[in-house]
Structure 1
């Protein structure tokens, strides 16, 4: 099965855990609304790619790790879109969860997805409990404080912002989780995989900053110009468009070189090259016009 099909099948199995005739119907509907249809599913695809490169001897655990990571990402989008943060009306080409279901259910939907992520990992842990515990710990670290996506969101409330720390937490954290959790699911050491995840995450954040500045809502499937509108830190604000482009190229230049030695090293290098092509500024400016 192709990785995208593998991810979607695992997501459907996970979502079945929260579907029950005794559950609140509207909250029950809000959860799959927040998850399907998915975006590019980049983070779980990277996780499974690393697991495969490392042998993937526990595919059920790899699938659970990929699902848990994507559920955390989906939850973060639901919360990011709330009036307390971005107050966004559009996400993935449709109304945001709080616009479709109301703010209270959006908060609960995001919270429920976070809890579900850890339930999925716990259910899959019987076959390799030590690996599952490490996966839980890594996912928690990259979700909360001081290095996770909660910390990233928290930087937006500070008067002085460390741009590198902000990007590493807000976007980089889940990409670091993707590479490290892929290795852990396959029984490998997580530490050598941190740099690759950090570089991919940093590149995606700079690319997002460029998209926000250069593209429109129709191209992005969500509101554009949000960094400037909310006064948020961004590579474009700090470096200008040309500086952000140069920074993006510098980040991508070292990503392939950072891939640890593994049986699937060549496959991972090709994956990074494919993502680099999608993120190039030439494609962004072409999409604008």
Structure 2
């Protein structure tokens, strides 16, 4: 079974578990709407790739970890799009959840997906209790405070932003979760995998800055030029397009160099290289002088 098939099958099973005779139909529908059809599923793909590189001896546990991580990511998108934050009308090429279902249901959708993520891990934990507990800890640490995605969103309400902490929490946290949880699901020590996740997260942030600056709404499937609109710091404003592209290449080279020694190291390096090609906005390199 391909990685994508593994992810979609596991995510669909988790969503089915959230439905029932007593469940409010509109909220149940909103959960499905927020999660499917999915985007690139980059974070769970990275998680499963790391698990496979480390042996993937408990695939049911790594599938649960990948699902939980994707549910947290989808929850964050629902909340990010709400009027109190980005006030975005579009997500993945369709109306955002609060536009399609209302603000109250969007808030409840995000909350429900977060709870469902931890329920998925709890259900899988008997397959490896110690690993399951570690997966819960890792996901919680990268979701809440002090350095998870909640902290990342919180930085936007501060009068002065610590840019490094902001990017590490808002964008990097779930990528660090992906690499660490993949290792933990396969019974490996997660700490050595933090740098790879941090570097991939940093690369994603730079690439996202490039897409926001260079792509239109049709290409992105969501509003563009949001960094300028909201006055957020970004790599293109700081370095220019050429400088941001160079920075992206440097980060991805560092990511490959940071991969811990493991049986699947070469395959994982190939995954990072393929991921790099997907990160670069189509045609972006043609905007860089000399390329």
CA contact (8 A) 2:245 2:285 kept: no
User: In the alignment, what sits opposite 2:46?
Assistant: 46
CA contact (8 A) 2:215 2:281 kept: no
Q: Gaps spanning 5+ residues in structure 2: where?
A: none
User: In the alignment, what sits opposite 1:108?
Assistant: 108
Please give the alpha-carbon distance, in whole angstroms, between the structure 2 residues aligned to 1:286 and 1:20. 51
Please give the alpha-carbon distance, in whole angstroms, between the structure 1 residues aligned to 2:282 and 2:109. 37
Determine whether 1:189 maps to 2:198: no
Name the stretch that deviates more: 208-217 or 162-171.
162-171
User: In the alignment, what sits opposite 2:24?
Assistant: 24
Please give the alpha-carbon distance, in whole angstroms, between the structure 2 residues aligned to 1:104 and 1:241. 39
**Map 1:222-233 → 2, pairs under 5 A:** 222-233=222-233
**Number of residue-to-residue matches in the alignment:** 287
Please give the alpha-carbon distance, in whole angstroms, between the structure 2 residues aligned to 1:6 and 1:196. 23
Runs of 4+ in structure 1 off by over 4 angstroms are none
Q: What's the CA shift for 1:94?
A: 0.3
**Map 1:246-257 → 2, pairs under 5 A:** 246-257=246-257
Please give the alpha-carbon distance, in whole angstroms, between the structure 2 residues aligned to 1:96 and 1:285. 30
Report Cα offsets for 1:207-254 as digits up to 9, x if no partner.
001100111000000000011101122222333323322221221121
Determine whether 1:136 maps to 2:142: no
Please give the alpha-carbon distance, in whole angstroms, between the structure 2 residues aligned to 1:59 and 1:260. 21
CA contact (8 A) 2:210 2:244 kept: yes
Determine whether 1:174 maps to 2:174: yes
**Map 1:183-262 → 2, pairs under 5 A:** 183-262=183-262
User: In the alignment, what sits opposite 1:160?
Assistant: 160
CA contact (8 A) 1:215 1:284 kept: no
Please give the alpha-carbon distance, in whole angstroms, between the structure 2 residues aligned to 1:278 and 1:126. 36
Please give the alpha-carbon distance, in whole angstroms, between the structure 2 residues aligned to 1:246 and 1:281. 14
Please give the alpha-carbon distance, in whole angstroms, between the structure 2 residues aligned to 1:238 and 1:84. 27
What TM-score results when the alignment is normalised by the length of structure 1?
0.97
CA contact (8 A) 1:163 1:234 kept: no
Please give the alpha-carbon distance, in whole angstroms, between the structure 2 residues aligned to 1:263 and 1:53. 6
Going from structure 1 to structure 2, the CA distance change for 1:284 and 1:21 (only over 3 Å counts) comes to farther
Q: Gaps spanning 5+ residues in structure 1: where?
A: none
Please give the alpha-carbon distance, in whole angstroms, between the structure 2 residues aligned to 1:281 and 1:231. 22
Please give the alpha-carbon distance, in whole angstroms, between the structure 2 residues aligned to 1:272 and 1:7. 18
Going from structure 1 to structure 2, the CA distance change for 1:162 and 1:240 (only over 3 Å counts) comes to farther
Please give the alpha-carbon distance, in whole angstroms, between the structure 2 residues aligned to 1:192 and 1:34. 33
- Two-structure CA RMSD over aligned residues (Å): 1.3
Report Cα offsets for 1:112-161 as digits up to 9, x if no partner.
00000000000000121110000000000000111100111111112222
Q: What's the CA shift for 1:90?
A: 0.4
User: In the alignment, what sits opposite 1:89?
Assistant: 89
Name the stretch that deviates more: 244-253 or 101-110.
244-253
Please give the alpha-carbon distance, in whole angstroms, between the structure 2 residues aligned to 1:281 and 1:91. 18
**Map 1:1-12 → 2, pairs under 5 A:** 1-12=1-12
Please give the alpha-carbon distance, in whole angstroms, between the structure 2 residues aligned to 1:286 and 1:5. 34
Q: What's the CA shift for 1:165?
A: 1.4
Determine whether 1:36 maps to 2:36: yes
What TM-score results when the alignment is normalised by the length of structure 2?
0.96
Q: What's the CA shift for 1:282?
A: 6.3
Report Cα offsets for 1:148-193 as digits up to 9, x if no partner.
0011111111222222211111111000000000000000000110
User: In the alignment, what sits opposite 1:278?
Assistant: 278
CA contact (8 A) 2:179 2:194 kept: yes
